């Protein structure tokens, strides 16, 4: 309760064979502080606790042959069901189940923001060659991927997703505007439609380092000009490093002028090749 208003706490259940791995997230830095300040609840369900044999087996050889092992349907399904039940208790809607998989839709900042809005999530971390397909078809709401590469398990991917989500929770960052200034985030009234821009350069003291000076505009105290410079840098850096992102944008006339000026200046200084 804060200022008479009930703060909704994000509830996240993690189905994993290695819950100890998540201490890297829950005990350190911004994410650890968010957990300690009860901005979110993290709880873990280990499929081994739902295995029916005395060896607590959670994997078996794949039908049809082939290398590796597959996570068995029963213990994984029971763990997910338990997580969903606990998280959704006394709630009006069921938890949304996300399976971290290289076959999933690649995550971006806008997708992360949508997941944060769901409030109740279960993250399923696979291992071995994968999870029995019957679990995926009956228990999983969506599959998400960090990119077109393969990890040994879903834990690292889940931690990356959690870190990105926690940054968007109210109160997680010391400055509420910090998340808005991140790469791929909305930034400024003139940039609301362009959510795929990279971040602008950052500087701090001293003003001169190794013969390089802080851009004078940042020392001017003119906040309007500083915002324009930062927007120009975001446009220019995105054009330099990730030109593919411009396919998803529609620049205003002012933004196009800023980008054109960036190209001219950097061509003259030799920072980019002349067209």
| β-bridge partners, 124 | 15, 99
**Catalytic site residue from 102, 108, 163, 199:** 102
Q: Where, residue-wise, is CATH 3.40.1280.10 in the chain?
A: 10-166
The values of phi and psi at residue 103, to 5°, are -90, -5
- Catalytic residue list contains 177: no
User: Could you give the 3-state DSSP secondary structure of residue 223?
Assistant: helix
Q: Where, residue-wise, is CATH 1.10.1270.20 in the chain?
A: 183-268
- Report residue 176 as tokens: 């509420």
* Strands 59-60, 40-45: pairing kind: unpaired
- Report residue 144 as tokens: 């998400």
Q: What is the DSSP string of 191-215?
A: GTT-TTPPPPP---S-SEETTEE--
Given pLDDT bands bounded at 50, 70 and 90, which one contains residue 267?
confident
What is the average pLDDT across 150-155? 96
**Minimum mean pLDDT among 78-92, 111-125, 229-243, 259-273: which range?**
259-273
Given pLDDT bands bounded at 50, 70 and 90, which one contains residue 182?
low
* More reliable by pLDDT, 39 or 175: 39
Which CATH number among 3.40.50.300, 2.40.10.230, 3.40.630.10, 3.40.1280.10 corresponds to the domain 10-166?
3.40.1280.10
**Catalytic site residue from 129, 163, 199, 227:** 129
pLDDT at 4 over 80: no
pLDDT at 184 over 70: no
**Minimum mean pLDDT among 20-34, 59-73, 122-136, 172-186: which range?**
172-186
- Catalytic residue list contains 182: yes
| β-bridge partners, 213 | 208
What pLDDT score was predicted for residue 268? Answer: 75
At the topology level of CATH, where does 183-268 sit?
Answer: 1.10.1270
- Catalytic residue list contains 167: yes
**Catalytic site residue from 108, 182, 190, 227:** 182
Look up tokens 């087996």; give the residue: 57
* More reliable by pLDDT, 78 or 194: 78
Do 61 and 33 contact (CB within 8 A), yes or no? no
**Catalytic site residue from 167, 191, 230, 234:** 167
pLDDT at 130 over 60: yes
- Catalytic residue list contains 67: no
What is the average pLDDT across 66-70? 94
User: Could you give the 3-state DSSP secondary structure of residue 5?
Assistant: strand
What pLDDT score was predicted for residue 93? Answer: 74
What pLDDT score was predicted for residue 1? Answer: 44
CA 207 to chain centre: 33
pLDDT at 191 over 60: no
Closest C-alpha among 86, 94, 79, 2 to residue 42: 86
| Cα–Cα dist 259/245, whole Å | 14
Closest C-alpha among 266, 268, 195, 205 to residue 237: 266
């Amino acid at each position: 309760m804060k200022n008479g208003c009930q703060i909704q706490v994000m509830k996240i259940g993690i189905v994993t064979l290695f819950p100890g791995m998540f201490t890297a997230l829950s005990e350190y830095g911004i994410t650890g502080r968010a957990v300690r300040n009860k901005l979110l609840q993290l709880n873990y369900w280990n499929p081994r606790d739902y295995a029916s044999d005395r060896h607590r087996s959670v994997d078996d050889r794949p039908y049809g042959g082939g290398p590796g092992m597959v996570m068995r349907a029963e213990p994984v399904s029971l763990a997910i069901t338990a997580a969903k039940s606990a998280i959704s208790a006394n709630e009006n809607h069921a938890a949304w189940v996300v399976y971290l998989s290289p076959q999933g839709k690649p995550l971006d900042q806008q997708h992360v923001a949508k997941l944060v809005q769901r409030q109740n999530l279960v993250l399923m971390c696979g291992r071995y060659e994968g999870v029995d397909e019957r679990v995926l078809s009956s228990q999983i709401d969506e599959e998400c991927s960090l990119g077109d590469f393969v990890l040994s398990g879903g834990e690292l991917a889940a931690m990356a997703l959690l870190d990105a989500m926690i940054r968007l929770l109210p109160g997680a960052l010391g400055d509420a505007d910090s998340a808005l200034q991140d790469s791929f985030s909305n930034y400024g009234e003139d940039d609301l439609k362009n959510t795929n821009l990279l971040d602008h350069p950052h500087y701090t003291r001293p003003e001169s380092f190794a013969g390089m000076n802080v851009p004078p505009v940042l020392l001017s105290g003119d906040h309007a000009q500083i915002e324009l410079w930062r927007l120009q840098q975001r446009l220019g850096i995105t054009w330099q490093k990730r030109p593919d992102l411009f396919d998803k944008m529609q620049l205003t006339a002012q933004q196009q002028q800023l980008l054109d000026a960036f190209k001219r200046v950097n061509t003259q200084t030799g920072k980019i090749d002349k067209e």
